[in-house]
A and B are shown apart, each in its own frame.
Chain A
Amino acid sequence: MPVEVRLPTVLRQHAAGQSSVKANGSTIGEVFEDLVRQFPLLANQVITEDGALHKFVNVYRNDDDVRFLDKLATPVADDDVITILPAVAGG
């Protein structure tokens, strides 16, 4: 079963302008792999070339920041909503 992945405005240009998309996977990492298969322009936008989460994005599985779970190995179940948010900071 695919899960819903919600995209921030800054990433939508890489996903045909969609605000949320469906992707398959049993972990956050697998979901992102499927996302990049569907939308190759999203490559390197969320995951670094080293295979880690970019420090300037935050990823939530429902209400939980996956950095405090198992990061990309965090399991994903049906009906989960994955939300990608840019880190917002300044001085």
Chain B
Amino acid sequence: MLRISRADWQSIIDHSLVEAEKPAEACGLLAGELGDMDVRAVYPCANTAPPERQDMIYELDSLDYLKADRDARQKGWEIIGVYHSHTHTQAYPSPTDVAQAPDPSWHYIVASVQHPAPVVRSFTIVDGEVAEEPLVLERPATQ
């Protein structure tokens, strides 16, 4: 299970919709306490894939990652996952997402904006195995 505040959930959708206009995939990082199930912060990042391919793939800007990592560490958090959007397909990790998943401990949120109503789902990817986890909308009790 992964809990996320309504504001962070909405920010993922808004970022995905803005990028879909290009059209491009949006991407960003999720921060929280290690082993915890709460997303404490969402960091939108730039997609540095070649522009002509950004509607099909994303490459998360490593300098944006560095800044997000630095900010999260200062707040006692860690980068615990990544979100990205699919402009033309469903909210499910693609074979490329599975093959390139960087960390088995991470949460992988996929937002599909292929239809007027966006769909946001969360997954774990361990040894090439995709498992959906419930994405629960709420504000962490400590905030």
- The interface of chain A, by Cβ under 8 A from chain B, is 6, 8-10, 19, 56, 58, 60, 63, 65, 83, 85-91
Asked if B65 and A6 make an inter-chain contact with CB atoms under 8 angstroms apart, the answer reads: no
User: Does B142 count as interface, using CB distance less than 8 angstroms?
Assistant: no
Q: Chain A contacts of B96 at CB under 8 A?
A: 89-91
Q: Judge whether B103 and A91 touch: CB under 8 Å.
A: no
A86–B59 contact, CB under 8 A?
A: no
**Can you name 18 extra interface pairs (CB under 8 A) apart from A60-B63, A65-B62, A89-B100?**
A8-B102, A9-B105, A10-B102, A10-B105, A63-B66, A83-B66, A86-B102, A87-B62, A87-B100, A88-B59, A89-B49, A89-B60, A89-B96, A90-B27, A90-B84, A91-B57, A91-B58, A91-B95
Nearest CB in chain B to that of A17: its residue? B34
Binding site for A on B (CB under 8 A): 27, 29, 34, 49, 56-60, 62-63, 65-66, 69-70, 73, 78-80, 82, 84, 93-97, 100-106
Given A10-B103, A56-B102, residue A89 in contact with residue B65 (CB < 8 A): no
* A87 contacts across to B, CB distance below 8 A: 59-60, 62, 100, 102
In the A-B complex, list the 8 residue pairs whose CB atoms are closest, starting with the nearest: A91-B96, A86-B102, A90-B97, A88-B60, A10-B103, A58-B62, A89-B59, A91-B57
Chain B residues in 8 Å Cβ range of A65: 62-63
Contact between chains at A90 and B34 (CB < 8 Å): no
Q: In whole angstroms, what is the CA distance A53 to B83 when docked? A: 26
